[in-house]
Amino acid sequence: MPSLFEEKEKINSSELRDTLRDPSHNLPTDSKIFSKYEREKIMNELFDSCGDDINKEEFKGVLRKVRAKEFESIKDFDQSEIDRIIRYLKEISGITDF
């Protein structure tokens, strides 16, 4: 499956929402699949402020904020959960550096 930003500079938020809702996205190096609830939580809080279109820089900003635990829904997560979310978002987006 191609990544969200493959050959694109920005994506529509509905495209991101559809991707996050798709249960077929396995995490790289982890066999556990995010539940529908976890994907909805990611979309609702992490990307809510991005608007209708999300460019690569905005997506990278979200990744940096996840790493810094700047979102209410993940502030109590342990580091392995944070790493899991980051790996998942990097895999679906195709973004490797942030």
From the list 16, 73, 65, the residue with the least C-alpha distance to 45 is: 73
pLDDT at 29: 47
Instruction: List Cβ neighbours of 69 (8 Å cut-off, separation of 6 or more).
Output: 75, 77, 82
Token pair in block for residue 70: 């700047």
pLDDT at 93: 92
* CA 41/CA 47 separation, integer angstroms: 10
pLDDT at 22: 74
* CA 7/CA 71 separation, integer angstroms: 29
Helix (H), strand (E) at residue 54: strand 53-55
DSSP code at position 31: -
Q: pLDDT truncated to tens, each residue of the chain (98 aa)? A: 678 998 889 999 888 888 877 766 655 545 556 677 777 777 788 888 888 899 999 999 999 999 998 888 788 888 888 888 898 889 889 998 98
| Alpha-carbon torsion, ordered 76, 78, 80, 81, to 10 deg | -20
Predicted TM-score of the model (pTM)? 0.81
